Chain A
Amino acid sequence: MRGQTTPPQFLPLQTVSPMPIDPTQRRATISVLVENEAGILARVVGLFSGRGYNIDSLTVAPVDQRGRSRINVVTSGTEMVIEQIKAQLDRLVPVHRVADLTMEGPHIAREMALIKVVGTGEHRVEALRIANAFRARVIDATAESFVFEMTGGTEKLDAFLDLMRPLGLAEVSRTGVAAIARGKRVIDDLHGAHDA
């Protein structure tokens, strides 16, 4: 019997499009599906440093049983530069697929942070109160410190850190952005379907 679910829609393969000159910068969240092989991260990072592109955030982890990893990069630049970044990434031999989540429709981007706040008295109470309001979890506590765990968009994390700063913010460890498209669209290697 057939199930109710429709098969996932694939995001369109990135194609070269005519380009207007637009000097304004934009931010882009780009997901790259790569062969999980030695040196792949160095290739991607080297491409950014070698060509002078910005990296605002970068995450990488294996994502499937077929030996592939997903790299999420948050970058910024003019439209022309971002198109160049995508084309340059796509040119790397171990890259399966490059998706500009910012352009390809609504998407969700999250990162996680571990935040250590050290203090006593009023500051400590205030830190805990704000953490509650932000739905940050306390995952470690001593008489003089908290470690909060917080997940959310980059702006939310930044806002929380700004509030913690006067309250004894001592140390931060952030994962960088993981991102995914909303709805049933998925990023996958579609080349096979295109080639006879």
Chain B
Amino acid sequence: MEVIFGYPGGAVLPIYDALFHQNAIRHVLVRQEGGAVHAAEGYARSTGKVGVVLVTSGPGATNAVTGLVDALMDSIPIVCLTGQVPTHLIGNDAFQEADTTGITRPATKHNYLVKRSEDLARVVHEAFYVARSGRPGPVVIDLPKDIVINPAPWTPPPETQHRSYRPQTDPDPEQIRQAIALLKGAKRPMIYTGGGVINAGEAASDALVRFVRATGFPCTSTLMGLGAYPANDPQFLGMLGMHGTYEANLAMHGCDVMLNVGARFDDRVTGRLNAFSPNSRKIHVDIDPSSINKNVPVEVPIVGDAGRVLEALLAAWQQDGTRVDTQALAEWWREIDEWRAKDCLRFTQETARGSIIKPQYAIQRLYEMTRALGRETFITTEVGQHQMWAAQHFRFDRPNHWMTSGGLGTMGYGLPAAMGVQMAHPDALVIDIAGEASILMNIQEMGTLAQYRLPVKVFILNNQYMGMVRQWQELLHGGRYSESYSAALPDFVKLADSFHAVGLRATGVDELDGVIAEMLASDRAVIADIAVDPKENCFPMIPSGAAHNQMILGPEHEDRAAGITDEGLVLV
């Protein structure tokens, strides 16, 4: 542990006193505890290490809850130390007491209340192990003040296995054999990968690339898995799901054998379950057995670490003498290329001076200009249309460089996450692609950027609306834009200035490149307020309750088809 993101208070003062007396651990003082957890998430996801958080009892702990659930949903390893009132006061409604273990039980992978100082060292070792092993997740250690005020004995990490928790990492060879038999016989195969590949470490992404290339099969990725397979590679069909590409979703719908590695058949991906990939035989690789057969029944379940499974699959693929049906595969690729030719992410940017900026174009230019720069670049996002456009138009070719709140969809994630990434990678370029509404949810963290001189770039696609909400209201609620207009916005340029950062603004297309260039050239924190088309919608879109082949395309496409059922209306 090198960095800890925290915020002090009465119950954790003894820990802060200990931090004062040492130099090994760097403490980053956030401006709100929620920011601390997202920062730790960004730190964890960009390094593969466990992110560490320290907050006080009561409100400190409750402020951390959103971040904990976020980390739980996206399988991010976090250890969160929470202060607690002294043991003899627990249960008395003492000042700043909250039932933290009770509140965080469903918000964590596991949690602990340490009641004896002799347990402290064991619990801390165990918490780190639980957080990072198996399917990673957040772990809370609740620390009563009397436990942390007295010295506690240090004991080395236990050498024996955990008594009850032993995740399975190596796959069953028989299931690998069955998977290969299915894959070799496939005529219309599809590989679908998710955040599990990222979590399994860089070696897993590397194994994925080798496996996909060896098979010649098409592959797609969930939002969380972007970067595991290089986006510019011809075998990559783009992201799938609600705002995924036409070709990825139709290939999922039409495939005859599906290999899912480290994804969980989330409803954003499957669309209407009973119409999801109706004719495929499915193989599901996951480290968490409870993810398998949860939403979608599969033929071959494989429990194990994504990296190890991919290595085993690759070895078995090469050993197996069966030849793939190259003719069928070529036919399948022809079909896919036809779908691809639709160019579903196409948009039209007016180029005349002063023309309104299309949000997609802003991302595209950001991507091209950062790429031209050649610096190591990390992207975080907030939640909304801008997040989906970032996923569609910023093309990732390395794992761990894309951090977004997928499972929980937490507005306010991006800025603190970027802060955590920048702490871990001081020389890298870290950009939060934001919406004007989301950014206000954790805007206080601009103060943290200033204090630690973290040169994070906040790139706001300012459409003056909670765009994603507005889009749903337009498509599903008769254009009644109830409470989705971002009224009374701050002047983001002045706001940046007041937080000791650089504020920039682009209002017409001719100003965009200049603003991006200036932002990238700055060695300080920057807020770039990019005024974009407020009416733009994010397409393609699979409406809630619809199937993959009932996708709505953008206005650029003549055959856009639409259909939101009453059934779909109740879904989120």
Q: Which residues of A come within 8 Å of B, CB atoms?
A: 15-21, 34-35, 38-39, 42-43, 46, 50, 80, 83-84, 87-88, 90-96, 189, 191-192, 195
Contact B289 A91 (CB under 8 A): yes
Contact B297 A19 (CB under 8 A): yes
Contact B289 A87 (CB under 8 A): yes
Residues of B within 8 A of A15 (CB): 289, 303
Is B102's CB within 8 Å of the partner chain A?
yes
Contact A42 B164 (CB under 8 A): no
Q: Can you report 24 residue pairs joining A to B where beta carbons are below 8 Å apart? A: A18-B299, A19-B293, A19-B297, A19-B298, A34-B164, A35-B164, A39-B105, A39-B113, A43-B105, A80-B293, A84-B290, A84-B293, A87-B294, A93-B130, A93-B162, A93-B164, A93-B165, A94-B164, A94-B165, A95-B164, A96-B163, A191-B166, A192-B161, A195-B166
Q: Which of A16, A46, A96 contacts B303 (CB 8 A)?
A: A16
Q: A34-B164, A90-B289 are in contact. Are A42 and B102 (CB under 8 A)?
A: yes
Q: How distant is B92 from chain A, measured CB to nearest CB, in Å?
A: 17
Q: How distant is A121 from chain B, measured CB to nearest CB, in Å?
A: 51
Q: Which of A16, A38, A92 contacts B301 (CB 8 A)?
A: A16
Q: How distant is B165 from chain A, measured CB to nearest CB, in Å?
A: 5
Contact B290 A88 (CB under 8 A): yes
Contact A16 B105 (CB under 8 A): no
As a 0/1 sequence over residues 160 to 174 of chain B, the CB contacts with chain A under 8 angstroms (1 = contact) are 011111100000000
Interface size in chain B (residues, C-beta < 8 A)? 27
Residues of B within 8 A of A38 (CB): 113
Q: Which residue of A lies closest to B111 (CB)?
A: A39
Q: Which residue of A lies closest to B303 (CB)?
A: A16
Residues of B within 8 A of A20 (CB): 297
Q: How distant is B186 from chain A, measured CB to nearest CB, in Å?
A: 18
Is B157's CB within 8 Å of the partner chain A?
no
A94 to B301 CA separation, bound complex (whole angstroms): 24
Residues of B within 8 A of A16 (CB): 289, 292-293, 301, 303
Q: Which residue of B lies closest to A20 (CB)?
A: B297
Contact B290 A91 (CB under 8 A): yes
Q: How distant is A16 from chain B, measured CB to nearest CB, in Å?
A: 4
Q: Which of A46, A87, A88 contacts B105 (CB 8 A)?
A: A46
Contact A93 B166 (CB under 8 A): no
Contact A189 B293 (CB under 8 A): no
Q: How distant is B214 from chain A, measured CB to nearest CB, in Å?
A: 26
A74 to B485 CA separation, bound complex (whole angstroms): 50
Q: Which residue of B lies closest to A34 (CB)?
A: B164
Contact A90 B130 (CB under 8 A): no
As a 0/1 sequence over residues 529 to 556 of chain B, the CB contacts with chain A under 8 angstroms (1 = contact) are 0000000000000000000000000000
Contact A93 B290 (CB under 8 A): no
Is B364's CB within 8 Å of the partner chain A?
no
A38 to B101 CA separation, bound complex (whole angstroms): 10
Residues of A within 8 A of B294 (CB): 84, 87
Is B300's CB within 8 Å of the partner chain A?
yes
Residues of B within 8 A of A21 (CB): 297
Q: How distant is A161 from chain B, measured CB to nearest CB, in Å?
A: 35
Residues of A within 8 A of B122 (CB): none
Most A CB atoms within 10 A — which of B161, B163, B166, B288? B163
Q: Which residue of A lies closest to B162 (CB)?
A: A93
A195 to B299 CA separation, bound complex (whole angstroms): 26
Residues of B within 8 A of A90 (CB): 289-290
Q: A16-B301, A19-B298, A35-B164 are in contact. Are A93 and B109 (CB under 8 A)?
A: yes
Q: How distant is A100 from chain B, measured CB to nearest CB, in Å?
A: 14
Q: Which residue of A lies closest to B290 (CB)?
A: A87
Is B106's CB within 8 Å of the partner chain A?
yes
Q: How distant is B84 from chain A, measured CB to nearest CB, in Å?
A: 13
Name the interface residues of B109-167: CB closer than 8 Å to any CB of A: 109-111, 113, 130, 161-166
Contact B301 A18 (CB under 8 A): yes
Residues of A within 8 A of B113 (CB): 38-39
Q: Which residue of A lies closest to B102 (CB)?
A: A42
A19 to B301 CA separation, bound complex (whole angstroms): 9
A191 to B301 CA separation, bound complex (whole angstroms): 20
As a 0/1 sequence over residues 261 to 289 of chain B, the CB contacts with chain A under 8 angstroms (1 = contact) are 00000000000000000000000000011
Contact B297 A80 (CB under 8 A): yes
A36 to B298 CA separation, bound complex (whole angstroms): 35
A31 to B106 CA separation, bound complex (whole angstroms): 22
Contact B105 A42 (CB under 8 A): yes
Q: Which residue of A lies closest to B165 (CB)?
A: A93
Residues of B within 8 A of A50 (CB): 106
Residues of B within 8 A of A17 (CB): 301
